[in-house]
């Protein structure tokens, strides 16, 4: 199963929440607004600051703000900052694999990984911030291009 880490999920939530603030927001405020524990907020914002997605301002009136607009931050960039590169198998992009000589799929996972990465790069936090009605259990969560 492909699954985001909680830190990557929380990072997206925090970035979108920061996008709703006109000025600076503190870890305490962001924690209260999102329900993410304050120590976790601080840890995530530190990582996002190091990569430039967030800018911090020190001092008594300090806090955090976005380093770029929400429509300039892809989901792929958030995942990469929090979890490292998006790589679905050990052999993607020529990485070493212990079964390299025996595996009939060596190198073929690249196209799957590239498709996932392309999709994650095409979705921004602005896209994610748009409110959408929840799907009912009767509606399919995914509609293939062939069905449209």
- Give pLDDT tens digits for 40-80: 999 999 999 998 999 999 988 899 999 999 999 999 999 99
Q: Per residue in 2-16, pLDDT tens?
A: 788 999 999 999 999
Q: How many structural domains are present in the chain? A: 1
Domain interval for residue 34: 6-129
* CA 123/CA 76 separation, integer angstroms: 8
pTM over 0.85: no
Q: Identify whether 101 is part of a domain.
A: yes
Q: Identify whether 25 is part of a domain.
A: yes
Question: First and final CA of the chain: distance in angstroms?
Answer: 27
Tell me 85's DSSP state. Answer: S
Q: Identify whether 52 is part of a domain.
A: yes
**Residues 113, 89: contact at Cβ < 8 Å?**
yes
Q: Identify whether 144 is part of a domain.
A: no
Q: Identify whether 143 is part of a domain.
A: no
Tell me 103's DSSP state. Answer: -
């Amino acid at each position: 199963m492909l699954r985001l880490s909680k830190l990557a999920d929380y990072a997206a939530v925090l970035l979108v929440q920061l996008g709703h603030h006109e000025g600076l927001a503190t870890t305490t405020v962001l924690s209260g607004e999102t329900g993410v524990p304050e120590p976790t907020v601080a840890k995530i914002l530190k990582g996002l600051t190091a990569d430039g997605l967030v800018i911090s301002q020190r001092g008594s009136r300090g806090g955090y703000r976005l380093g770029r607009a929400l429509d300039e931050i892809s989901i792929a960039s958030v995942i990469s900052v929090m979890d490292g590169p998006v790589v679905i198998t050990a052999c993607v992009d020529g990485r070493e694999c212990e079964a390299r000589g025996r595996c009939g799929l060596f190198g073929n996972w690249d196209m799957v990984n590239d498709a996932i990465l392309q999709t994650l790069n095409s979705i921004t936090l602005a896209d994610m911030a748009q409110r959408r009605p929840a799907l009912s259990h009767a509606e399919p969560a995914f509609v293939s291009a062939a069905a449209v």
